Chains A and B, each alone.
Chain A
């Protein structure tokens, strides 16, 4: 009982990532500060609560999910509040990340063009900054989708305040948007975990390795290194 375990000293990069972002500490780059990561997870959790409380309302196929929360009635109560939380955190995150999300010239066209396919086949993205074009587009798509879910969700929350046609339209739009979200979230998780090892830690401890950065975001690596050099 009294044996003291030797405490491994904390990784200095991880310590730095509590408050900083876009810096090089040793061999690691700080990709997401703590606030940034917490925001992401707040959005993620509220999204999943919304998803799992919404799915059983959406189709009896997922009716079993309702029991995770205490039944369908709880879902009906919780879902809109999860949605509100999702919307609030998303807005916050939107403005927090907006600065990094400026599209570069030609980027949009590139990511909607045939290049997308090549990227999916792990072709390199030599110019990718902190976020590549796909990530940026995903960011905007999520934000827009959030807005759609929010507005249609409000109509569905208080259906009797709105005309019947608007209620019907809202339900359809809400469904459509969330289906897109569902597809998107599967890809997002896949890319952030299995598909690209070394990525997930950027959302846990906040840091990535140099090789990771060189592979996925060479532009960002250059900037961070240059900044460091300049500071030095």
Chain B
């Protein structure tokens, strides 16, 4: 989230799209209701299903699953054509006036630079034009230049008329126009609106571009950086934000530093590739905050390797693993299944062992049949979990999942009992980027151990083996600093201190070298004090400030709110720098006066920025730097030349497309979508699988865990798997409510109880009547007695977004029959 949960109460309009917050985030959803009660805010829900969120909305618009970009670009077109956008904001804070290279083009569904042999884009033509004289970015502040971003955007979205939106999304024109009118009512200084989304946007082969479209709309409306505004992603678990921040995926290190690649052999090379370069900007310079990259990286390396990391040995940079290809999730199973990692661009054989920690790939991975087959080829697998999940018993999966008979599976499975969140201390980092400490409520049962103890014991055992027997690349393991009071079970407070970072020598004030701002060994106040010379260490620069000399700030529980906007600066710690609203410089105009004096993000008081923790150099007067300090151009991007699938979002059909793309029939789906080519990666065609299907979660169930609880109240509240079917489709197929039905995709087939409902309706798409059905994913074959059910992901495909490699769970094709 750019803003926070509480801040939603400051919105005038809330567009909930690509998510069902009432279902999946009911506690945070209170702020939606607060906005409605106290501000009479309008809640607009756009979703294929009439959801729990829709049930309390002011306006509901039905869209076809996977058509969100068309809908959003339709609103952008409406905003531009009616002038209902915040033009001062766009000129000040976006790249709307920036002029783009004349080599950029978009024709027949393809942007310039498409390489058809590799199915990827060469992005050179998606660049800004530099002013030949000043060598700065070329701009047209009037936004009239035909190649300025604003005009290119206007041209790009011009195809998305309300009629086209209706044709693609199935949303009646009148409903779409009502949505557009309400949403664009915030395109000015007085009003402000927010967009909330979740996995309904991300889990598509065009997921990132959907989010881009939402962000662009918010930039156009001037809603980014302002209280009550923002682009707000709701994360799926209580600490998934923390996991991402701390390097949860293969391509990032803690703090979103990039994982070194094989071609960057020295720290200098790495540092050069890290921060983006910026041209001298007009009228504002960019802080381009990533220029501090070397400081963050040096401090991270010092935290990993401790005293072994010296300036002379590049702080141990050489010991960090370098990736040689894509080791994202779906690739791992593809490698395992096919027996080589060539597809990932790597040169090594497929893995023979697998450690899966707090994750249940057989439950939540796409195309379960393939994953089961992949795991069957392993020699060993270690599963660390609270309960015996599907992954731990993949060998015992029911026959229809296609696994080999257990006797033929050689994989040796170890299940290490872990502990639940209430059984350990630590922090949750919520969607609002708040780190909040939690205290252990009870001891783990039996032999279960905390995550850090399991990891430490494995690590220390490996390190010991290296000490005794040696091995390949011993420095990588032996030089790791493990200086915890109890190395076998580190105190998480200590770990948090390490993440915050500390001074390793006395740190001098750069303005007055006689003054020591931090003595050696003291916790630093924030990442601003980090150094690239090895004098500081920091486990995660983004979280720096969470555990200072003042103590563990994640434990703060002061609910004083002088702003009245729900910022609560003394409650927990919000990264970065305890800032509650990111890009908050954009909440004030060119002079530093707030757009809306009743909702002040920050404002310039003549000497400094006051209000929220400024997302700006605190004493830099208005006009010094652009509002988007992490970007080299310093402004928000309506045109982003960095993504894998185009600088503008474009409507592409899901990989399993129910229709041919009406805009460009030759390019129906995302041309650079992630796909796999194994014999288990079948893609269904609409002739055989005519129904659009989606998967989702239920508020009563906690992912794949709840079903393991014998006699639990939640299993009582949602007693079993079901398939939601529109009334008319059920009537057509003679399906009665509560009867058994069978849903089949190109990859698998499951059976469940029909839930016949009016909440799903037939949709007219591109002149054809299409049906949408769906089912929740919480069940599986590993469960307490009486709570088993089919795995939803038996039906989903291993295809995904080319930027994030997230699977397309939300739109695939099936057929439906009476069972």
Do the two chains touch directly in the complex (Cβ atoms below 8 Å apart)? no
Q: Which residues of A contact B (CB under 8 A)?
A: none
